[in-house]
Amino acid sequence: MAAANDNTVKVNEVTKITPFSNSTTEFSLPLTLFDTYWLKFFPVERLFFYQISGLTPDSFNSVILPKLKHSLSLTLLHYLPVAGNLVWPEDATKPAIYYFPNDGVSLTVAESNADFDFLSGNGIRPSAEFRPLTPQLSISDDKTAVLAVQITLFPNQGFCIGISTHHSMFDGRSTVMFMKSWAHLCKQEEENPSLLPQLTPSFDRTVIKDTKGIDLVYANNWLAFTGSDSDPKNRRSEIFSNHSGCEQIDNKQNENEAKQSAQLQTFVLTLAYAFVCMVKAKGGDSNRDVIYAFKADYRSRLNPPLPMNYFGSCSGTHATIAKAGEFMKETGLAFVSEKLSHMVKEIESGLTLEGFEDKLVKLMSMMKSVQGGAQGLGVAGSIRLDVYGPDFGWWKPKKVEIVSIENTGAISLSESRDGGGRVEIGVVLEKQQMEAFASLFVDGLKS
């Protein structure tokens, strides 16, 4: 078995997967305010590890890889905008998704000699081990892809599907729906399989009523955020060539947190506990600001609610601020839990777009505070997404990771593969802080 730190990945193929029976009709898909909100955030990078003992390169290349390629092509036929690109034309007031004939999704096929069990396990692992398994979105000055895929073989162990998604097209629910659609079609034997109703995406943007033009407000917010250059064309290109975020950090850990029956309680307590451990692990000035936030899915909370198969970004951040000392007290867990619970209950009571015009500006101000020394804490993922659901015919994933949290300072959060109300979290911290976090996390559960 390869050493834990010996992850040599050989790229065997880079190709483009186009929609099956390639459409000859070009079209554009407008962005809503929720899509535009996420325009310049880091791509979300997920890894799905599938364990198949004794998997040979011959079997992988002759059976598994062709099925994955063909079913991805079939899936793109149902998800045509995903095969397109995000473009901001010079004469347009905001970007849109544009699809042209022969557009497709970049697929990288690779082979790794790393220890599959180590990478798909729990415990502390170097985040650098995951980077070679993660595809990069194709980004240029005038456009960016919204999806990239990498399939990596681990001989005799299994394979990994890595995906990078642009946040203005994919939120967590859309990502999992796409992966489940791909997996569903991969298992079908008929020539022209159909998707289940719950997996058939709706791209109808008219269901989101933005009478105040908040989408344009957000687009202009991002133009202003990219710099003070007076030429809007230059600032638009910066939106595609750069992403906002925090510095890259070093190590990764996943832990399970269990025995909570209600999803709301589970979410709040897990998040609060992880946040408290992260603040304590960092130590330092107890008077520093800590900005902590989470994302909420708005589909069922808008009035009228959106269908659950609505495809796109339909989520937003909810954040607040406190001093680090509040987290460090013995009452820190209760303090943070109460604040998070109050924020969640406000969302659950109903959601309107009142005040949303200032929402992105407030978030940008918080991002600048983090760059200035405040500690930023967020969450990627959810305990309601069923990330372990995509079964391509070789059983469900052994492990799902969100690699991109190394860029954002967020924790990853998902329901456990084994269910039972258990939760998985992922954390990326510098080595010394990770060791402190691990100790605090385990000791706190014991007490």
CA-CA distance, 197 to 190, in Å (whole number)? 18
- Respond yes or no: is residue 167 known to be catalytic: yes
CA-CA distance, 419 to 336, in Å (whole number)? 26
CA-CA distance, 97 to 421, in Å (whole number)? 38
The Cα-based distances of 41 to 142, 152, 167, 207, 410 in angstroms read 17, 26, 7, 24, 13
DSSP 3-state assignment of 156? coil
- Respond yes or no: is residue 391 known to be catalytic: yes
Residue of 167, 171, 184, 215 with catalytic role? 167
CA nearest 20: which of 99, 82, 78, 81? 78
The distance of Cα 158 from the centroid of its chain, to the nearest Å, equals 23
Strands (E), 155-283: 158-165, 251-257
Neighbours of 56 (CB within 10 A): 12
> First vs last Cα of the chain: how many Å apart?
38
Strand partners, 14: 108
Strand partners, 194: none
CA-CA distance, 207 to 212, in Å (whole number)? 15
CA-CA distance, 16 to 105, in Å (whole number)? 5
Q: Which amino acid is at 419?
A: G
Within 63-136, where are the H helices? 65-78, 116-119
CA-CA distance, 4 to 118, in Å (whole number)? 7
Phi-psi region of 101 (alpha: psi -120 to 50; beta: other; left: phi over 0): beta
The residues carrying an active-site annotation are 167, 391
